[in-house]
Amino acid sequence: MNKGRSFHPASVSDELLSWGGSTHIGNVRSKNQDYFGTCNSFIAVADGMGGHNGGEVASEIAIKELFRKQRFITTKELAKQVLNANIAVNNRAKENPALFSMGTTLCAITQLKRPAGLSKLALVNIGDSRIYVLADDQLHQITQDHSLVEEMYREGKITKSESENHPQRNVITRSLGTHQDVDVDCWEITARKGDRYLLCTDGLTNELTDATIKATLQKYSDPQMASQVLVDTAVNAKGLDNVTAVVVDIKQGSDSLELLEIPTSPTAYKASSFNTLQRGEKKQNLLQKSSSSTSLLKLIKSFISFLFVLLTVVSLVGHYAREGFFVAFEMQNGAKVSESQVVIYKGTKGGVLWFEPTIERRTALLGLDLNNVELERIEEGISFKTLNQAQTYIDTIRNTTASVKTSS
């Protein structure tokens, strides 16, 4: 038994299921990608796949995520927990390129939390790991393989014997973790005292016939011994793959002597079957919202910075446009230069952008009061740094004009 590839958390319930589990690397593989988990009321087996260490990682994540919850009231609750495990594996693969496309099969059984006398078992599977039941002296395969060969057999394209030796019998059509969503096949069966269940990977069923499995389960009453013999027999046959078997005996349940009823087809659940988002999806949405908030904050900060720069530029331009004074005519529509009033403007001649010069002070001088030289100069506009300089110039012209008129 490879104890390093199994998980046994502290149980939160009475011992409803008695179990024994074994796993082996086989004779060919370099690593054991199988993983199983057990507690008093919940058993699960996974067979990982993927390059590098992907298969090992996927199966371990799936089992440990699954066992975050051990007791379930309904089969749908169990399916939801399987979908949580699917998201956990899928998210890990997205985080690490080396684990891209990793996935795992999964089969699990749990005794639902129901009143005495109404004991039920919930079973799930994804992929080609199987669940069998030995009941009424008969061995029944409950789960249906999600494999290419099994689908061909169900569609009547190949016979049962052809499916057992088909070269593509290991090609699976459904796995946990390879996609964001997956269909989970579920069964609900009456829990009867004395019934024995087997959860196993294809490394066992590819090597052993149903007759050998049935004989072994009947021969060894101790579930640990039964699981160990099953695994050893498969490894000794050829052992071409990792081999895992967990034998489960029902300790508490119905005492009914009626034949066990096994549904012929499963009920399938997927993420869309639930109104609430899965835990992994919630986390992802929270991260997306956080990322959106961060992006919005950055955008606001950038806009504020831009606005600050713009206001600074406008302020500088405005300061430059309003700096200094100049003397010129106040030109009104249709007015002649000789009839125009001389005024002192504040600002830059011609204006800058939308900053136009404004009249700072009016004078009593008109164009007709000036000689030709001053007339031309003022018509072009004469600049000064200060208002006093501009006013001094006006006073000088006024005095000169007054002297000329007196002399005349």
**pLDDT per position as a tens digit, 154-206:** 899 999 888 888 888 889 999 999 999 999 999 999 999 999 999 999 999 99
Q: Do residues 107 and 172 both lie within one domain? A: yes
Q: Do residues 249 and 281 both lie within one domain? A: no
Question: Distance (Å, rounded) from C-alpha 107 to C-alpha 187?
Answer: 11
Q: What is the CATH number of the domain that holds 112?
A: 3.60.40.10
Question: Distance (Å, rounded) from C-alpha 197 to C-alpha 176?
Answer: 22
Residue type, 324: G
* pLDDT at residue number 296: 82
* Bridge-based pairing state of the strands 130-135 and 196-200: antiparallel
* Bridge-based pairing state of the strands 184-190 and 17-24: unpaired
Question: Distance (Å, rounded) from C-alpha 12 to C-alpha 21?
Answer: 20
Alpha helices in 251-344 (DSSP H): 279-321
Q: Do residues 256 and 356 both lie within one domain? A: no
Q: Do residues 104 and 121 both lie within one domain? A: yes
* pLDDT at residue number 310: 83
Mind listing the pLDDT tens digit for each residue in 130-147? 999 999 999 999 999 999
Q: Do residues 236 and 334 both lie within one domain? A: no
How many residues belong to the chain?
408
Q: Do residues 281 and 157 both lie within one domain? A: no
Q: Do residues 308 and 336 both lie within one domain? A: no
Q: Do residues 381 and 399 both lie within one domain? A: yes
* pLDDT at residue number 107: 98
Q: Do residues 183 and 294 both lie within one domain? A: no
Q: Residue 307 sits in which domain range?
A: 277-317
Q: Do residues 262 and 289 both lie within one domain? A: no
Question: Distance (Å, rounded) from C-alpha 18 to C-alpha 191?
Answer: 13
Domains contained in the chain, number? 3
Q: Do residues 118 and 177 both lie within one domain? A: yes
Reduced to 3 states, what is the DSSP secondary structure of residue 146? coil
Residues whose CB is less than 8 angstroms from the CB of residue 45 and which lie 6 or more positions away in sequence, other chains included:
34, 35, 36, 106, 107, 108, 129, 199, 200, 201, 244, 246
Whether residue 125 contacts residue 143, with contact meaning beta carbons closer than 8 Å, is answered with: yes
Question: Distance (Å, rounded) from C-alpha 315 to C-alpha 359?
Answer: 21
Whether residue 131 contacts residue 199, with contact meaning beta carbons closer than 8 Å, is answered with: yes
Please tell me the number of Cα atoms within 13 Å of 85 on its side-chain side: 35
Question: Distance (Å, rounded) from C-alpha 62 to C-alpha 35?
Answer: 9
Question: Distance (Å, rounded) from C-alpha 261 to C-alpha 264?
Answer: 9
Percentages helix, strand, coil for the chain, rounded to the nearest 5? 40, 25, 35
User: pLDDT per position in the chain (408 positions), as tens?
Assistant: 445 699 999 888 778 899 999 999 999 999 999 999 999 999 999 999 976 679 999 999 999 999 999 999 999 999 999 999 999 999 999 999 889 889 999 999 999 988 766 799 999 999 999 999 999 999 999 999 999 999 999 899 999 888 888 888 889 999 999 999 999 999 999 999 999 999 999 999 999 999 999 999 999 999 999 999 999 999 999 999 999 999 999 998 888 888 999 999 999 998 888 854 444 445 555 556 666 677 788 888 888 888 888 888 777 777 777 788 988 888 777 777 778 888 888 888 877 777 788 888 888 888 788 888 888 888 888 888 888 888 898 888 888 776 666 665
Best CA proximity match to 361, nearest among 375, 346, 348: 346
